[in-house]
Amino acid sequence: MDKKNFEAFTNLAALKKNAIQLCGQELISSLTVKGIHAKHDEFWRFVNNKLNIPDDAYVIKLAKKQEEKERKLAEEKAREQAERERILENKKELYSKTRQEWKITVFELPESDKYGNKFIAQCTNKSELKLTTSFTKASNDCYSQACNLVDEYERRQEQSRRFMENYQVLKPLYLMIIYLSGYDEYNPYLGNIKNKCCKENFIGINFLNGFDFEIIKRLEAEKLLEISTTRKTITMNKKGMKEARDIIFNINIEGVDVLLEQREYHEEYINYQTKLEIFQEQEE
């Protein structure tokens, strides 16, 4: 670090000749007599002290370099944004098409940008939401990009909708499982030290990230599910599915009817007996 501080402060390489140039031959010779040479860190500590070079000169230089880099990037970004806005001011509409309740309008720019792109598209839906493509070189590429933009947005919206449908049902179930399966946790360093299990020390319900294996084994014993040999996964069978559906059907949770309806085909699966299942039943 001493060498780097010297180089950062002086803008010279950490060489003996440069140390002589700045500190004088007398100081360097006195160090050499003591067996302190330019290959030693101690040499550069003496040199830095002589020149009053701060211990953080290298760090400061790096910080200034990074600051300058960020400043230039910000300026470049601002120039590009200003140029983009200038070009967009006089865009000319070429055509509009409808796709999945979206209006896609392709525009031609009055001039190409520095990359040779001259087209852009805007997508608008009934709620006035706007999506804008990047600049492209051809109008058909621009329209294709707009279609992909709309499709990706609709896909994300559908994923979000399905997640919320599941969440509003799973949230109370998860809370019930955690509350009933967890145990009281107390802070031993706060409140009443003599009686650790008291309201002053109470933190909340602690729940291991996983199901109680004893309960899982009991469910397996009741032939409601099967545990993999590695114990990492479980499979709920038809009997378990039927009981689960009956429980969920009788729980008063908003949205549960939607989830049951989405899985209504399970009723047909549950009631259907394969040849293997018939054989196993006869064996029992």
Specify the pLDDT at position 191: 55
Q: Can you tell me the mean pLDDT for 140-153?
A: 95
| pLDDT at residue number 93 | 94
Q: Where do the structural domains in the chain lie, given as residue ranges? A: 1-88, 89-158, 211-283
What tokens does 90 get?
Answer: 């006089």
pLDDT tens readout for residues 68-79: 999 999 999 999
Residues sharing a CB contact under 8 Å with residue 200, sequence separation 6 or more, in sequence order: 190, 191, 192
66: left (phi over 0), alpha (psi -120 to 50) or beta: alpha
Residues 6+ apart with CB under 8 A from 197: 184, 186
Which residue is associated with the tokens 């180089």?
Answer: 7
The rounded mean pLDDT for the chain is 85
How far, in Å, are 24, 47, 81, 122, 199 from residue 40 at the CA level? 18, 11, 51, 65, 63
Percent of the chain with pLDDT over 90: 28
Centre a 10 Å sphere on the Cβ of residue 75 and count the other Cβ atoms it contains.
10
pLDDT at 228: 78
